[in-house]
Amino acid sequence: MAFIKPLRGFTPKIGERTFLAETSVIIGDVEIGEDCSIWYNAVLRGDVNSIRIGNGVNIQDGAVIHTLYQKSVTQIGNWVSIGHNANIHGAEIRDYALIGMGATVLDHAIIGEGAIVAAGALILSGTVVEPGSIYAGVPAKFVKKVDAEQASEINKKIAHNYLMYAGWYKE
């Protein structure tokens, strides 16, 4: 069973049909929507500020979600995919965005709807990634706009596949 710890008067809230891997960690002021999946060794640490996660979100193995004390919150929209070992720190990730493996998104950054942050990218604090765009590199820079239909297909497919994968663990 996942490690779920109330802290500072906040008890994590977990939506219906959400899969929590046995080694996932959810602490404090964290709210997770319905049909999400929090995978092995993922850490959602709402000890110093709030973390809000929409519906259908997958937070893959080893990802860390955190915030700054009294200065930033983390907000993740619906059907977002957070890749293996990614770090999200006090940022806003909008619907159907895809954060690649090992990417880091820092405080007050905004990742637009349907955007893709490439594997290993570093999104600096305060960066605004436009909807439907790809950012890559360290620090990350705009690469190109993605065809809206193509981005939707890729991002939606990944997000919905993770809902299917989570179902395998509930059988």
pLDDT of residue 154: 85
* pTM (two decimals): 0.95
The segments of the chain whose pLDDT lies below 50 read none
pLDDT of residue 40: 98
| Fold observed for domain 3-170 | UDP N-Acetylglucosamine Acyltransferase; domain 1 (2.160.10)
pLDDT of residue 171: 66
HEC assignment per residue over the chain: CCEEECECCECCEECCCCEECCCCEEEEEEEECCCCEECCCCEEEEEEEEEEECCCCEECCCCEEECCCCCCCEEECCCCEECCCCEEECCEECCCCEECCCCEECCCCEECCCCEECCCCEECCCCEECCCEEEECCCCEEEEECCHHHHHHHHHHHHHHHHHHHHHHHC
